[in-house]
Amino acid sequence: MARKIKIKGHKDMSSIDYKEMSWRDQAACSTVSTSIFFSTPKSPTVYQALSICKSCPVRKDCFYEATLYGYDGIWGGSTPEQRSALISHILDGNLNGFDKDKSDYIFDYVDKIGISKNTALADLLNYKYKLSE
């Protein structure tokens, strides 16, 4: 059975620098109802949301922000369950020192793992890697 790791180091949302959020103006979802991005992995709308994300020019920025701040919902083409599995498995549950390079590294696995908690963890356990420090 997989160990449950509490994630440490999520930044407080009150510390968001809105100047760093200018990428949102270019997001493929900027004119789409946000409700589809806040559904469970078993909901049919999750695939609609993930499809929109696939072609988004700022997908990596979106993924980075969602991971750093611990957002709910689909961001950067990833589910909260995927982000949690990636943080737990690759970063040992610790976001301290998390930067764009580490985000890009774990982002490379988003489309290679399942979208639910169990499928994401199972897929990650098949990979033999750890982030070099």
Alpha-carbon span 107 to 60, nearest angstrom: 7
- Would 82 be classed as within a structural domain? yes
Q: What is the pLDDT of residues 81-91, one digit of tens each?
A: 999 999 998 99
- Would 33 be classed as within a structural domain? yes
Q: How confident is the model at residue 128 (pLDDT cuts 50, 70, 90)?
A: low
Q: What is the pLDDT of residues 99-108, one digit of tens each?
A: 999 999 999 9
Q: Classify 117 in phi/psi space as left (phi over 0), alpha (psi -120 to 50) or beta.
A: alpha
- Would 14 be classed as within a structural domain? no
Q: At what angle do helices 100-107 and 59-69 cross, to 10 degrees?
A: 110
- Would 108 be classed as within a structural domain? yes
Q: What is the pLDDT of residues 22-40, one digit of tens each?
A: 899 999 999 999 999 998 7
- Would 84 be classed as within a structural domain? yes
When divided into structural domains, the chain yields a total of 1
Domain that holds residue 35: 21-125
pTM for the model stands at 0.88
Q: Residue 86 phi/psi, 5° resolution?
A: -65, -45
Buried b (16+ CB within 10 A) or exposed e, 21-40: eebeeebbbeeeeeebbebe
Position 5 scores a pLDDT of 59
